[in-house]
Amino acid sequence: QLSRAVETRPTREHRPQLSDLRECVPGETLVVLGDGRRMPIRELVGTAPEVLAVSPDGKIVTAKSEKIWLVGVRPVFLLCLASGRVIRATERHRFLAARGWETVSELSVGDRVAIARRLPEPAFPDSWPDLRVTLLGQLIGDGSYLKHQPLRFTTSSEENSRIVAEAVREEFGGDVKRYAGRGSWHQLLISGNGNRSHPEKLNGWLRELGIFGQRSYEKRVPEAVFRLSNRQIALLLRHLWATDGTIAPRGNGRGSHSVFYSTNSPRLASDVAALLLRLGITARISSVKKGNYRPNFLVGVSGANDQRRFLEAVGAAGPRAPQAERLRALLVGGRPNTNVGRSAHFKFVPSRALLAEYAEILRDEELYARATSDLFWDRIVAIEPDSEEEVFDLTVPGPASWLADGIVSHNSGALEQDADLIIFLYRPERYKEQSEIPPDQQNLAEVIVGKQRNGPTDTVRLTFIPQYASFENRVESDRQPY
């Protein structure tokens, strides 16, 4: 098993070790759990949760993880995908590519890797009052819940304003006052939420969800939302879209229909894309930056199939409802295009229906599995060194895989865990100049038994004879004469 990890080690110590074989990811990598949540891997250390994995036939399944632990500091690379998703990992980490499992060092720009086409609903989802779900969607979009400031909701929509005021009063017994702004814009001031020492009602609920105090560019969807049913996730998305979402049918047959959500929070954009996956909708994340302002992130739903699915599963509320009805009428009988909205990063991608037809004609089981899998093949648009930081391992027996925020990742640490015997060969001359090597280590070769399931581990020192490329028993120079 070739590992070049020793060459990238920040110190001058190049002796190989078991950790060089581990496939690692940084601590903020989101592990998709069986209950729907996405948790940073660093927060799962020492636990063994159920995670989402991928079966050999490409289906998303639930599997029990075995171990999650901190490995140490390693160089990390950044992979950027055409869908706007990004993943960071060490060069030894493997992802499911079109040719099979490949390490970061083996992948190239233009290769395709697998991401989940859908995420399953939890077997036992949580349930909230619908008004709370509605209110949270509206507040994440147009609400302000900063520390040391009153709770506010700013909008130009009478429908959105009415539903927020109703939800605050009925669910939390809060007081709502309206203040006029420019034109149709107005602000709702929400009071009666306790104080800093004793937060109550809506204030207390937002703190409980872990989102109180977030600025607009820090906003995210609370982890608790991911434990809800698909119906309530669709409800939250419907009211989130009613704030900063867009549904824009094309005019006069020109251009493409637009369905997207806009935010200056990268985490919120990622969360919205993940929620859409719960409904079987694959979104694309793009960003636009103007001047010195923070970048704006767009979560786009493109292509007739996904846009129809969006209208059926998510629907529209408030000011987005009329546009949704118009788009629905235009999409009737429309011809799906699997390349719509994928940008120049994507080349032609045949539809799943076409693949299934070819699989049936050719009686090709592998092709049929591709056509009916739960996976989408995303193109790599960039691979670049990123940083050196703490990285973590996760092992999942059985499927030997897990979802890193929807991207299919291999069972980290599998080689070290599964092998019965691991032997390393180390020659100092491979990494040092001849003048740097002490006389007693000239032509030294170490055979390091790093793991032996049924026996001891040790290091055996041999002499390497370069002109014959052979190894002989070593006579240590410090051995004393009789």
pLDDT digits (tens, 9 = 90+) for 266-324: 999 999 999 999 999 999 999 998 888 899 999 999 999 999 999 999 999 999 999 99
C-alpha span between 43 and 45 (Å, rounded): 6
Chain position carrying tokens 């207390």: 204
The verdict on residue 6 lying in a domain is no
In 10 A of CB 331, how many CB atoms?
A: 17
Element (H, E) at 392: strand 375-395
Chain position carrying tokens 């074989």: 21
pLDDT in tens, 258-267: 999 999 999 9
Q: How far is CA 439 from CA 25, 71, 301, 436, 477, in A?
A: 40, 34, 66, 9, 9
Domain shared by 445 and 389, yes or no:
no
Domain boundary (365, 394, 415) is at 415
What ranges in 258-339 are assigned the alpha helix state H? 266-278, 304-313, 321-331
Say how far residue 123 (Cα) sits from the centre of its chain: 21
Please report the pLDDT score of residue 345 as a whole number. 40
The verdict on residue 42 lying in a domain is yes
Please report the pLDDT score of residue 140 as a whole number. 98
Domain shared by 104 and 185, yes or no:
no
Residue 89: exposure state from Cβ atoms within 10 A (0-12, 13-18, ≥19): buried
Farthest-apart Cα atoms in the chain, separation: 103
Q: How far is CA 165 from CA 127, 175, 191, 421, in A?
A: 22, 9, 11, 66
Domain shared by 282 and 320, yes or no:
yes
Task: Kindly report the CATH number assigned to the domain that includes residue 158.
Answer: 3.10.28.10
Domain shared by 220 and 244, yes or no:
yes
Domain shared by 137 and 259, yes or no:
yes
Domain shared by 168 and 283, yes or no:
yes
The verdict on residue 349 lying in a domain is no
Give pLDDT < 50 ranges for the chain: 1, 339-347, 480-482
Residue 355: CB partners within 8 Å, gap ≥ 6?
367, 368, 370, 371
In 55-127, DSSP assigns E strands to 60-64, 67-81, 86-89, 94-97, 100-103, 112-116
> DSSP per residue over 156-168, as a string?
S-HHHHHHHHHHH
Domain shared by 45 and 149, yes or no:
no
C-alpha span between 274 and 270 (Å, rounded): 6
Q: What range defines the domain where residue 405 resides?
A: 27-117+374-415
C-alpha span between 377 and 54 (Å, rounded): 14
Pair of tokens at residue 164: 């927020």
Please report the pLDDT score of residue 169 as a whole number. 95
The verdict on residue 15 lying in a domain is no
Please report the pLDDT score of residue 341 as a whole number. 43
| Half-sphere exposure in the Cβ direction for 178 (13 Å, CA) | 14
Q: Is the dihedral of CA 64, 70, 72, 74 positive or negative?
A: positive
Domain shared by 396 and 427, yes or no:
no
What single DSSP character describes residue 451?
E
Pair of tokens at residue 314: 């998510």
Domain shared by 58 and 76, yes or no:
yes
Domain shared by 393 and 429, yes or no:
no
C-alpha span between 185 and 159 (Å, rounded): 12
Domain shared by 323 and 193, yes or no:
yes
Residue 75: CB partners within 8 Å, gap ≥ 6?
8, 10, 90, 91, 385, 387, 388
Please report the pLDDT score of residue 343 as a whole number. 45
Domain count, the chain: 3
The verdict on residue 354 lying in a domain is no
C-alpha span between 234 and 121 (Å, rounded): 12
Pair of tokens at residue 27: 């601590």
The verdict on residue 4 lying in a domain is no
Domain boundary (331, 363, 382) is at 331
Q: Nearest-CA neighbor of 393 among 14, 5, 65?
A: 65
Buried b (16+ CB within 10 A) or exposed e, 235-266: bbbbbbbbbbbebebeeeeeebbbbbbbbbbb
The verdict on residue 260 lying in a domain is yes
End-to-end CA distance of the chain: 43
Element (H, E) at 297: strand 296-300
With contact defined as beta carbons under 8 Å apart, do 16 and 427 qualify? no
- Pairing relationship of beta strands 375-395 and 25-26 according to DSSP bridges: antiparallel
Domain shared by 83 and 149, yes or no:
no
80 forms beta bridges with 86, 382
Task: Kindly report the CATH number assigned to the domain that includes residue 407.
Answer: 2.170.16.10
| Half-sphere exposure in the Cβ direction for 75 (13 Å, CA) | 16
Chain position carrying tokens 């996760």: 394
**pTM of the predicted model, to two decimals?**
0.81
The verdict on residue 344 lying in a domain is no
